[in-house]
Structure 1
Amino acid sequence: MKRTAVVAVVLACVTTSVAFGQQTRRSSRSLAGRQASAATVQPLPTPTLPEGNTGIAARYPGDVGMEKDPDVVFVESFEESTRSGSTATCLSPKRA
């Protein structure tokens, strides 16, 4: 019984060390050709959010007819009685 446990532990240690050795070689090889870019990229300013009577929602009180607007990409109708009808509407883009 003890001999079996010792053999299992030794095999586990050998297997682990071989796996780590192969992983180290692969990772060092894959990172050898990669280097960071020296270019500096400046962040763009965040545009202001629409407030008041601007934006798509302001043009459609109660959201009635909003799904026909060319600026609307996805529509989710929570009033649909079936899930399949709701999903089909949601996943079909209004413009390509």
Structure 2
Amino acid sequence: MQAPVMPTEIRVDRAGRRLEIRWSDGLVGYCTFEDLRWNCPCAVCQGEMGQPGVLSQTTELTPEQTELENIWQVGYYAVGLAWKDGHDTGIYPFELLRRLCRPE
């Protein structure tokens, strides 16, 4: 069985408004803060129990919604992100980060 591809380093580039990620298979890429916020996997953003998420009701994000305040590791499978607007319930699995990751 092949080992899962994992981040070996995640660096916050505030000036570039992105996460720079180095992966265990050698890929180096980035995820923009805007892409991360649009793809927040939490129930508030994506919806739950037949109710639409808040992101489905807007076409534009505010500057506060895309300004990263904090990042922390969640177990061995994800990171949590907190945004300047106070939103902090999104847990981003490494698989999602990899899908959003653009090659450097």
Give TM-score scaled by structure 1 length: 0.21
Structure with the largest fraction of helix: 1
Structure with the largest fraction of strand: 2
Give TM-score scaled by structure 2 length: 0.20
**Greater relative contact order (Cα < 8 A, sep 6+):** 2
The higher radius of gyration belongs to 1
